[in-house]
């Protein structure tokens, strides 16, 4: 596990125990097997199909089995943060079908969501050369995913989360590092300096991160707010929309395609202006459309970004998991194309 978690604090809906989240055909299959083949033992294993994936979710499944009260089963699993390959078993459960079959779909979904977010977070962290990255995915998906997304992001090394819910599974005190939204500036009639002052007056112990793209004049507004608030400005954040060219770039004689949104040229001009005016310590935060590829491009061009903000990029490129019965009563039994695969990487515990 990339980041250390002292106390895992997973919470589950009690209705899981009454099949509220279980597909009807699993319930009916459990009833049939329990009535006619109740002494049979089954082995299921889970896998996915992509290369070099940063795995996450086994700790959640472990706690889910405890919550469900599963007994007399053997649970084999890969540790969080393992790099996995196509068709490699990541989990295996052996026991009476009735004791775990109703969790098959839940396990598929938990592994898919947590591994997708963790894998994206891992790639983003590598692309950013270990610079700070803020997880701003709360606005990109339904709020009910914040706990699992925060946990998965943290496991992969991104610990800058913006909601208390994102910290809930981690069992640690929220360390919130959000900036200001455009709505705060709108409330002060577009006056970025006045908005920044109001934020500082209300939260004097916070690092002041000023959003500076509201008027599409990043450099002038950054210098203006820094001149006014001096060393109280911790960072300025650029969030220019992809369909806009900042005023400071409108007269530049280079490919216009390169000038839209947050771009390397804009960041360089901002860094130069901050340094020229004596604000060398003010950091630059860049957000708006950043994913591992855009971050890698910025880093390859020695961009002066200090902190990246990412949102939707954390839930793209879904990693789908499949669970299969591969043994019945210790003998191999699986659908065509699937089979029991031995793995010496799996750890094992018994319930």
Q: What is the pLDDT of residue 138?
A: 87
Whether the per-residue pLDDT at 209 is higher than 90: the answer is yes
Q: What is the pLDDT of residue 222?
A: 97
Does the fold of domain 129-315 match that of domain 14-117+318-350?
A: no
Model pLDDT for residues 327-338, shown as the tens digit of each residue:
999 999 999 999
CA distance 276 to 116: 42
Model pLDDT for residues 244-278, shown as the tens digit of each residue:
999 999 888 777 888 999 999 999 999 999 999 99
CA within 13 Å, CB half, 73: 24
Question: Residue 46 forms beta bridges with which residues?
Answer: 91, 323
3-state DSSP assignment of residue 150:
helix
Q: Take residue 27 and report the two structure tokens written for it.
A: 């319930």
DSSP string, 283-336: EEEE-SS--HHHHHHHHHTT---SEEEESGGGG-S----EEEEEEETTEE---T
The CATH number assigned to the domain with range 129-315 reads 3.20.20.70
Q: What is the pLDDT of residue 57?
A: 97
The domain made up of 14-117+318-350 is a member of CATH 3.20.140.10: yes
Map out the domains of the chain as residue ranges.
Answer: 14-117+318-350, 129-315
CA distance 320 to 275: 47
Q: What is the pLDDT of residue 230?
A: 92
Model pLDDT for residues 2-57, shown as the tens digit of each residue:
565 666 889 999 999 999 999 999 999 989 998 898 889 999 999 999 999 999 99
């Amino acid at each position: 596990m990339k980041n250390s978690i002292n106390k895992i604090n997973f919470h589950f809906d009690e209705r899981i125990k009454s099949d509220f989240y279980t597909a009807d055909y699993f319930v009916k299959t459990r009833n049939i097997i329990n009535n006619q083949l109740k002494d049979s033992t089954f082995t299921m294993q889970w896998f996915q199909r992509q290369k070099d994936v940063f795995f996450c979710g086994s700790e959640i499944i472990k706690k889910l089995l405890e919550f469900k009260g599963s007994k007399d089963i053997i649970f084999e699993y890969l540790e969080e943060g393992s790099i996995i390959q196509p068709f490699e078993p990541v989990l295996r459960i052996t026991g009476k079908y009735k004791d775990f079959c109703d969790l098959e779909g839940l396990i598929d979904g938990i592994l898919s969501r947590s591994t997708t977010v963790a894998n994206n977070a891992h790639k983003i962290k590598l692309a950013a050369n270990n610079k700070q990255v803020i997880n701003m995915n709360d606005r990109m998906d339904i709020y009910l995913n914040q706990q699992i997304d925060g946990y998965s992001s943290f496991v992969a090394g991104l610990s800058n989360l913006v909601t208390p819910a994102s910290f809930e599974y981690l069992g640690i005190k929220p360390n919130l590092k959000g900036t200001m939204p455009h709505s705060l500036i709108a409330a002060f009639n577009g006056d970025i300096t006045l908005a920044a002052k109001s934020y500082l007056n209300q939260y004097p112990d916070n690092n002041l991160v000023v959003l500076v793209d509201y008027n599409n004049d990043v450099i002038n507004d950054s210098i203006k707010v820094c001149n006014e608030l001096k060393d109280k400005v911790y960072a300025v954040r650029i969030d220019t929309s992809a369909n806009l060219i900042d005023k400071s770039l409108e007269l530049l004689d280079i490919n216009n395609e390169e000038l839209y949104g947050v771009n390397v040229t804009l960041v360089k001009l901002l860094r130069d202006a901050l340094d020229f005016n004596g604000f060398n310590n003010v950091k630059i935060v860049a957000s708006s459309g950043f994913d591992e590829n855009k971050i890698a491009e910025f880093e390859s061009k020695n961009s002066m970004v200090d902190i990246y903000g990412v949102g939707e990029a954390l839930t793209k490129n879904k990693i789908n998991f499949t669970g299969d019965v591969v043994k019945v009563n210790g003998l191999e039994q699986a659908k065509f194309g699937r089979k029991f695969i031995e793995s010496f990487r799996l750890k094992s515990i018994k319930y």
